[in-house]
Structure 1
Amino acid sequence: MGYQDVKFPNGTVFLVTGGAGFIGSNLCEAILKMGHKVKCLDDFSTGKEENIKDFIDNKDFQLIRGDIRNIETCMKACEGVDYVLHQAAWGSVPRSIEMPLIYEEVNIKGTLNMMDAARLNNVKRFVYASSSSVYGDHPVLPKVEGQEGNILSPYALTKKVNEEYAKLYYRLYGLETVGMRYFNVFGRRQDPHGYYAAVIPKFVKCLLNNESPVINGDGKQSRDFTYIENVIEANLKACYTKENVGGETFNIACGGQVNLIELYDKICEVLEVRIDPKFGPIRIGDIKHSNASIQKAKQLLDYNPDFNFREGIKLTIKYYKEYFMSNH
């Protein structure tokens, strides 16, 4: 069953924090297509107006400009809300190493504000973005929930703390918190610009501009690349499931493993270009290999990712070709 078949009652209201970001805007769009109401909370520190321009005038869409570091903003945003999909955060492992204090403020304090506002407004379920980075240096593959290693970056630490608070809020207050450990999400609206851009949009952008991209390290490091549609499915099914999932975390991935050289070759193949990449230094805080077990999510959330890596990459490249043509 895909998420389109998930039936929420008429009049269901969702709050998507970070709703103008990459994952958040895709969630807003999916919820509106299902015929439900969505509030989007964003301070536009990393989110973009262009991501929500197609539904800003939709009568079921409400934009709240505000910062999750402000508890009053969080309280107001949660009024009358059934489900919170908390995506607002600062991403990027390298940037967190440079700016740990802002990560503490936004990712930890901001998430705690949202959790408390959800609790006080009697939200049914609080589904939040965690990260595969919480596995740290644990060497065993595939990654299984409950088998974590030493944390390698401030970003990863913020996500780990979020998970601990979520467990506590479920135990103490009964707030049904559900953590989504995302594994290398990619797809439409992922930002291709800037120093901290994710690897897929960065590669595509370089190749479309006939430039040679930089691969950090030897390119043999592997990731479990996960197409955005699978992430939408996981979030909505985490709201919908009748299973007792309060305080739990789930790997949200494809269960696959693609190294960066393979990824680069696949993008070249789809674009029908061939430019040799450059190799740069290994990034501090990066893990060597990442591959998820998705058994727990399959069992308790009925999560069955519809899109594999190859299908996702084709759709993503099609999106970026159109994006760059319309922006030049």
Structure 2
Amino acid sequence: MKILVTGGAGFIGSNLVDALLKDDRVSLVRVLDNLATGSEDNLKHLGHLPKFEFLNGDIRSMDDCVRACTGIDLISHQAALGSVPRSIADPLTTNAVNIGGTLNIFTAAKDNGVKRIIYAASSSTYGDHPGLPKVEDRIGKPLSPYAVTKYVNELYAGVYASLYNIEMIGLRYFNIFGPRQNPNGPYAAVIPLFAKSLIDNQAPVINGDGSHSRDFTYVSNAVQANIAALFSQEPEAVNTVYNIACGEQTSLLQLFENLREQAGSSLQPIHGPERNGDVKHSLADISKARRLLKYNPSVSVKEGLRHTYDWYAAQK
């Protein structure tokens, strides 16, 4: 199989590319990335491999998407502008990339006869629905422009599956973390921020009182889900969405305590104001992914935090 990974220079995408290049079912892994949030450093160790190909291009360009999809069998569409705060600050760019860019990829895939697209969906789609754990068919109103864009992706996937006979699988990620997640910039995620603060011996800021909780999920579990979705032979597994998580709740304070223990630090966090658009609590029901994709998260949150902290410490 020849596989395109959009956003393949990014955090999740590059970890997925590494795994696909080791898979005997794969003859080519082509990456499309404009390096806006991804990094060439995440791929530099792959340049010598004959199965690897890199295209510097933007999913907002239809020409780039057509070029990337030519001759491709399967797509893992990871390219997106993440971050709820970024989408609140700049909704137009988030919309252009996450909706316009995704529609370009879906259309270029259709026109090139691509059989199946796995696309990165988001737990933000659950919005203000109060129920826990989150179950795929029960969602609320989106709380941010980012959440709107990820829900629209799911709507377009459903339409393209029914009209154009493309197999679509959406993976609703729940706070994926791990090596290569960028700790720098105004929209860095909480785990790389905490790790960087501890390594630099600077007290991190926790938004709110620290009771906010998330279903944090180590990146290798997300990679496993993508590969399972790409190659699933189960007819019932396609044209639907799945929660990709660990099925565990961890508060921000618990998260910091875990990382602080790993760092051997006595730092105390500083508490700042809560962020607009944030969901208070999140927890996934992963039974559907277990049943249809045979998804089985093999790395726990605590083990993943240990691997992640060690990776950031080694970068210093």
Structures share fold, TM-score greater than 0.5? yes
1:247 to 2:236 alignment: no
Equivalent residue number for residue 24 of structure 1: 13
1:170 to 2:147 alignment: no
**Cα distance in structure 1, aligned partners of 2:315 and 2:23:** 25
Equivalent residue number for residue 14 of structure 1: 3
Equivalent residue number for residue 8 of structure 1: none
Equivalent residue number for residue 133 of structure 2: 142
Alpha-carbon contact 1:170-1:246 (below 8 Å) kept: no
Partner residue of 1:118 out of 109, 125, 130: 109
Equivalent residue number for residue 41 of structure 1: 32
- In the TM superposition, what is the alpha-carbon distance from 1:146 to its structure 2 partner? 0.9
Equivalent position SS for 1:193:
coil
Equivalent residue number for residue 106 of structure 1: 97
The superposition leaves residues 263-305 of structure 1 with CA deviations (integer Å, 9 ceiling, x where unpaired) of 0000000111110100000000000000000011011101011
Alpha-carbon contact 1:41-1:64 (below 8 Å) kept: yes
Alpha-carbon contact 1:224-1:292 (below 8 Å) kept: yes
Alpha-carbon contact 1:135-1:149 (below 8 Å) kept: yes
**Cα distance in structure 2, aligned partners of 1:249 and 1:176:** 12
Alpha-carbon contact 1:233-1:303 (below 8 Å) kept: yes
Alpha-carbon contact 1:175-1:246 (below 8 Å) kept: no
| Greater Cα offset, 68-77 or 228-237 | 68-77
Equivalent position SS for 2:54:
strand
- In the TM superposition, what is the alpha-carbon distance from 1:247 to its structure 2 partner? 2.3
Q: 1:126 is aligned with what amino acid? A: I
Equivalent position SS for 1:54:
helix
- In the TM superposition, what is the alpha-carbon distance from 1:49 to its structure 2 partner? 1.0
**Cα distance in structure 2, aligned partners of 1:312 and 1:73:** 35
- In the TM superposition, what is the alpha-carbon distance from 1:56 to its structure 2 partner? 2.0
Q: 1:163 is aligned with what amino acid? A: E
Structure 1 runs of 4+ aligned residues shifted over 4 Å read none
Structure 2: runs of 5+ lacking an equivalent? none
Normalising by structure 2, report the TM-score: 0.98
- In the TM superposition, what is the alpha-carbon distance from 1:246 to its structure 2 partner? 3.1
**Cα distance in structure 2, aligned partners of 1:275 and 1:47:** 31
- In the TM superposition, what is the alpha-carbon distance from 1:74 to its structure 2 partner? 0.7
**Cα distance in structure 2, aligned partners of 1:142 and 1:127:** 23
**Cα distance in structure 1, aligned partners of 2:264 and 2:74:** 43
Partner residue of 1:206 out of 161, 174, 197: 197
Alpha-carbon contact 1:168-1:247 (below 8 Å) kept: no
Equivalent residue number for residue 264 of structure 1: 256
- In the TM superposition, what is the alpha-carbon distance from 1:57 to its structure 2 partner? 2.3
Equivalent residue number for residue 7 of structure 1: none
Alpha-carbon contact 1:41-1:77 (below 8 Å) kept: yes
Equivalent residue number for residue 69 of structure 1: 60
1:283 to 2:272 alignment: no
| Percentage identity across paired residues of the two chains | 52
The superposition leaves residues 179-228 of structure 1 with CA deviations (integer Å, 9 ceiling, x where unpaired) of 01000000010001111111001001011111000000110010000000
Q: 1:149 is aligned with what amino acid? A: G
Normalising by structure 1, report the TM-score: 0.94
Equivalent residue number for residue 183 of structure 2: 192
**Cα distance in structure 1, aligned partners of 2:85 and 2:179:** 23
Partner residue of 1:313 out of 299, 305, 308: 305
| Superposed counterparts of 1:226-237, under 5 Å | 226-237=217-228
Q: 2:23 is aligned with what amino acid? A: M
Equivalent residue number for residue 93 of structure 1: 84
Residues paired across the two proteins, number: 313
